[in-house]
Protein backbone atom coordinates (compact mmCIF):
# COMPACT_ATOMS: atom_id res chain seq x y z
CA UNK A 1 0.00 0.00 0.00
CA UNK A 2 3.00 2.31 0.44
CA UNK A 3 3.39 2.41 -3.34
CA UNK A 4 -0.16 3.64 -3.81
CA UNK A 5 0.28 6.22 -1.04
CA UNK A 6 3.41 7.59 -2.72
CA UNK A 7 1.66 7.85 -6.06
CA UNK A 8 -1.28 9.62 -4.41
CA UNK A 9 1.09 12.18 -2.86
CA UNK A 10 2.70 12.83 -6.26
CA UNK A 11 -0.76 13.43 -7.75
CA UNK A 12 -1.72 15.80 -4.91
CA UNK A 13 -4.44 13.42 -3.75
CA UNK A 14 -5.79 12.91 -0.24
CA UNK A 15 -7.63 10.01 1.34
CA UNK A 16 -11.39 10.01 1.11
CA UNK A 17 -14.24 7.62 1.94
CA UNK A 18 -14.34 4.43 -0.07
CA UNK A 19 -16.78 4.49 -2.98
CA UNK A 20 -17.53 1.18 -4.61
CA UNK A 21 -18.11 1.25 -8.34
CA UNK A 22 -18.34 -1.25 -11.11
CA UNK A 23 -15.08 -1.72 -12.97
CA UNK A 24 -15.27 -1.84 -16.74
CA UNK A 25 -12.40 -4.30 -17.12
CA UNK A 26 -13.46 -7.44 -18.95
CA UNK A 27 -10.76 -10.13 -18.98
CA UNK A 28 -10.21 -11.44 -22.49
CA UNK A 29 -11.47 -14.94 -23.20
CA UNK A 30 -8.49 -15.96 -25.32
CA UNK A 31 -5.36 -17.56 -23.98
CA UNK A 32 -3.03 -14.75 -25.01
CA UNK A 33 -1.64 -12.49 -22.28
CA UNK A 34 1.30 -10.14 -22.42
CA UNK A 35 4.08 -10.73 -19.87
CA UNK A 36 4.46 -8.32 -16.97
CA UNK A 37 7.44 -6.18 -18.01
CA UNK A 38 6.95 -3.68 -15.19
CA UNK A 39 6.59 -5.90 -12.09
CA UNK A 40 5.47 -2.89 -10.03
CA UNK A 41 8.69 -1.00 -10.81
CA UNK A 42 6.62 1.92 -12.01
CA UNK A 43 9.11 4.76 -12.17
CA UNK A 44 11.46 5.81 -14.95
CA UNK A 45 13.23 9.04 -15.83
CA UNK A 46 13.13 8.46 -19.57
CA UNK A 47 10.28 9.66 -21.75
CA UNK A 48 8.68 7.00 -23.94
CA UNK A 49 10.06 4.25 -21.73
CA UNK A 50 6.94 3.22 -19.77
CA UNK A 51 3.38 4.14 -20.66
CA UNK A 52 0.32 3.07 -18.69
CA UNK A 53 -3.13 2.58 -20.19
CA UNK A 54 -6.59 2.06 -18.76
CA UNK A 55 -10.23 3.08 -19.16
CA UNK A 56 -12.91 4.55 -16.94
CA UNK A 57 -16.53 5.67 -17.18
CA UNK A 58 -17.85 9.23 -17.42
CA UNK A 59 -21.48 9.69 -16.37
CA UNK A 60 -23.82 12.10 -18.14
CA UNK A 61 -27.56 12.67 -18.06
CA UNK A 62 -27.68 11.07 -21.52
CA UNK A 63 -25.86 7.94 -20.39
CA UNK A 64 -22.28 6.82 -19.91
CA UNK A 65 -19.21 7.61 -21.96
CA UNK A 66 -15.93 5.73 -21.84
CA UNK A 67 -12.54 7.43 -21.40
CA UNK A 68 -9.35 5.58 -22.33
CA UNK A 69 -6.05 7.19 -21.38
CA UNK A 70 -2.32 6.65 -21.95
CA UNK A 71 0.08 8.16 -19.41
CA UNK A 72 3.87 8.56 -19.70
CA UNK A 73 5.05 7.96 -16.15
CA UNK A 74 8.34 9.82 -16.58
CA UNK A 75 6.52 13.16 -16.86
CA UNK A 76 3.05 12.16 -15.59
CA UNK A 77 1.70 13.49 -18.87
CA UNK A 78 -1.42 12.12 -20.50
CA UNK A 79 0.02 11.65 -23.98
CA UNK A 80 -3.12 10.10 -25.46
CA UNK A 81 -6.79 9.72 -24.72
CA UNK A 82 -10.01 8.84 -26.49
CA UNK A 83 -13.66 9.23 -25.49
CA UNK A 84 -16.36 7.02 -26.94
CA UNK A 85 -19.54 5.06 -26.42
CA UNK A 86 -17.90 1.67 -25.94
CA UNK A 87 -14.93 0.49 -23.89
CA UNK A 88 -13.42 -1.71 -26.56
CA UNK A 89 -10.32 -2.31 -28.65
CA UNK A 90 -11.23 0.49 -31.05
CA UNK A 91 -11.32 3.05 -28.25
CA UNK A 92 -8.10 1.72 -26.72
CA UNK A 93 -6.44 2.00 -30.13
CA UNK A 94 -7.73 5.56 -30.46
CA UNK A 95 -5.95 6.57 -27.25
CA UNK A 96 -2.78 4.76 -28.32
CA UNK A 97 -2.82 6.34 -31.79
CA UNK A 98 -3.04 9.81 -30.26
CA UNK A 99 -0.13 9.01 -27.93
CA UNK A 100 2.04 7.81 -30.81
CA UNK A 101 1.20 10.92 -32.86
CA UNK A 102 1.85 13.29 -29.94
CA UNK A 103 5.27 11.72 -29.42
CA UNK A 104 6.24 12.05 -33.07
CA UNK A 105 5.47 8.66 -34.59
CA UNK A 106 6.46 5.04 -34.32
CA UNK A 107 10.15 5.62 -34.97
CA UNK A 108 10.38 7.90 -31.94
CA UNK A 109 8.56 5.67 -29.47
CA UNK A 110 9.67 2.25 -30.75
CA UNK A 111 10.30 -0.06 -27.81
CA UNK A 112 8.08 1.76 -25.32
CA UNK A 113 6.33 -0.50 -22.80
CA UNK A 114 2.56 -0.08 -22.60
CA UNK A 115 1.37 -1.57 -19.31
CA UNK A 116 -2.34 -2.30 -18.92
CA UNK A 117 -4.68 -4.74 -17.25
CA UNK A 118 -5.84 -7.88 -19.04
CA UNK A 119 -9.06 -6.38 -20.35
CA UNK A 120 -10.40 -7.73 -23.62
CA UNK A 121 -9.76 -4.41 -25.36
CA UNK A 122 -6.01 -4.85 -24.81
CA UNK A 123 -5.87 -8.58 -25.59
CA UNK A 124 -7.86 -8.14 -28.82
CA UNK A 125 -6.04 -9.18 -31.97
CA UNK A 126 -6.61 -5.77 -33.60
CA UNK A 127 -5.05 -3.92 -30.67
CA UNK A 128 -2.12 -6.31 -30.50
CA UNK A 129 -1.51 -5.79 -34.21
CA UNK A 130 -1.58 -2.01 -33.74
CA UNK A 131 1.03 -2.26 -30.98
CA UNK A 132 3.24 -4.38 -33.23
CA UNK A 133 2.97 -1.84 -36.07
CA UNK A 134 3.93 1.00 -33.72
CA UNK A 135 6.78 -0.84 -32.01
CA UNK A 136 4.95 -0.84 -28.67
CA UNK A 137 5.74 -3.67 -26.25
CA UNK A 138 2.65 -4.77 -24.34
CA UNK A 139 2.85 -5.54 -20.65
CA UNK A 140 0.04 -6.70 -18.38
CA UNK A 141 -0.47 -7.08 -14.66
CA UNK A 142 -2.41 -9.82 -12.92
CA UNK A 143 -6.19 -10.02 -13.25
CA UNK A 144 -8.05 -8.05 -10.59
CA UNK A 145 -4.94 -6.41 -9.12
CA UNK A 146 -5.25 -2.63 -9.02
CA UNK A 147 -1.74 -2.37 -7.58
CA UNK A 148 -0.25 -3.78 -10.78
CA UNK A 149 -1.63 -0.77 -12.66
CA UNK A 150 -1.63 1.72 -9.80
CA UNK A 151 -0.19 4.61 -11.83
CA UNK A 152 -3.08 4.98 -14.25
CA UNK A 153 -5.64 3.91 -11.63
CA UNK A 154 -4.44 6.84 -9.52
CA UNK A 155 -4.80 9.25 -12.41
CA UNK A 156 -8.33 8.15 -13.19
CA UNK A 157 -9.15 8.55 -9.51
CA UNK A 158 -7.96 12.15 -9.82
CA UNK A 159 -10.27 12.66 -12.80
CA UNK A 160 -13.18 11.21 -10.87
CA UNK A 161 -12.59 13.24 -7.73
CA UNK A 162 -11.71 16.61 -9.27
CA UNK A 163 -13.92 16.67 -12.33
CA UNK A 164 -16.66 14.08 -12.47
CA UNK A 165 -17.82 14.48 -8.86
CA UNK A 166 -17.81 18.28 -9.07
CA UNK A 167 -19.52 18.73 -12.44
CA UNK A 168 -22.72 17.09 -13.61
CA UNK A 169 -22.70 16.72 -17.38
CA UNK A 170 -26.08 17.26 -18.97
CA UNK A 171 -25.03 15.94 -22.37
CA UNK A 172 -22.39 13.67 -23.81
CA UNK A 173 -21.13 16.50 -25.98
CA UNK A 174 -20.60 18.64 -22.89
CA UNK A 175 -18.70 15.83 -21.18
CA UNK A 176 -16.46 15.24 -24.20
CA UNK A 177 -15.51 18.91 -24.41
CA UNK A 178 -14.97 19.41 -20.69
CA UNK A 179 -12.90 16.28 -20.18
CA UNK A 180 -10.64 17.22 -23.10
CA UNK A 181 -10.11 20.71 -21.67
CA UNK A 182 -9.44 19.32 -18.21
CA UNK A 183 -6.76 16.94 -19.54
CA UNK A 184 -5.09 19.78 -21.45
CA UNK A 185 -5.06 21.92 -18.32
CA UNK A 186 -3.73 19.02 -16.27
CA UNK A 187 -0.80 18.49 -18.64
CA UNK A 188 -0.03 22.20 -18.77
CA UNK A 189 -0.66 23.34 -15.20
CA UNK A 190 -0.66 20.46 -12.68
CA UNK A 191 2.47 20.58 -10.54
CA UNK A 192 4.03 17.40 -9.14
CA UNK A 193 6.51 17.09 -6.31
CA UNK A 194 8.20 14.23 -8.18
CA UNK A 195 8.85 16.63 -11.09
CA UNK A 196 10.36 19.39 -8.97
CA UNK A 197 6.96 21.09 -8.66
CA UNK A 198 6.66 21.42 -12.43
CA UNK A 199 3.79 20.48 -14.67
CA UNK A 200 4.16 17.52 -17.05
CA UNK A 201 4.71 19.74 -20.09
CA UNK A 202 7.13 22.06 -18.25
CA UNK A 203 9.08 19.04 -17.02
CA UNK A 204 9.35 17.60 -20.52
CA UNK A 205 10.57 20.95 -21.81
CA UNK A 206 13.22 21.10 -19.08
CA UNK A 207 14.21 17.50 -19.75
CA UNK A 208 14.80 18.24 -23.43
CA UNK A 209 16.72 21.47 -22.78
CA UNK A 210 18.68 20.48 -19.66
CA UNK A 211 18.38 16.71 -19.16
CA UNK A 212 20.80 16.46 -16.23
CA UNK A 213 19.25 19.33 -14.30
CA UNK A 214 15.68 18.14 -14.91
CA UNK A 215 16.42 14.65 -13.66
| Confidence check: pLDDT of 210 > 80 | no
Each residue of 23-32: pLDDT tens digit?
A: 444 554 556 8
Each residue of 103-143: pLDDT tens digit?
A: 999 999 999 999 999 999 999 999 999 999 999 999 998 77
Q: Pinpoint the alpha helices (H) of the chain.
A: 2-10, 89-102, 106-109, 120-123, 125-134, 150-159, 172-189, 200-209, 211-214
pLDDT confidence of 48, banded at 50, 70, 90?
A: very high
How much is the pLDDT for 17? 44
Sign of CA pseudo-dihedral 90, 74, 33, 156: negative
User: Which residue(s) pair with 63 in the sheet?
Assistant: 60
Least confident stretch, 4-18, 46-60, 83-97: 4-18
| Confidence check: pLDDT of 22 > 50 | no
How much is the pLDDT for 209? 84
How much is the pLDDT for 153? 87
Sign of CA pseudo-dihedral 8, 10, 14, 20: negative
Q: Which domains does the chain show, CATH number per domain?
A: 2-214 (3.30.420.10)
Higher-scoring residue by pLDDT: 200, 167: 200
Q: Is the pTM of this model over 0.75?
A: yes
The upper half-sphere exposure of residue 17, i.e. CA atoms within 13 Å in the direction of its Cβ, equals: 1
Amino acid sequence: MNTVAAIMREQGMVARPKRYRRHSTRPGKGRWRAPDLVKRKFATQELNDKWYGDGTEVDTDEGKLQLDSVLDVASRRIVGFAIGEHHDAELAYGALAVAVAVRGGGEVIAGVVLHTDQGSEYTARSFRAACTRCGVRQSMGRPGSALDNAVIESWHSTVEFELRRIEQFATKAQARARVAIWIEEYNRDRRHSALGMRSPIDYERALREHPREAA
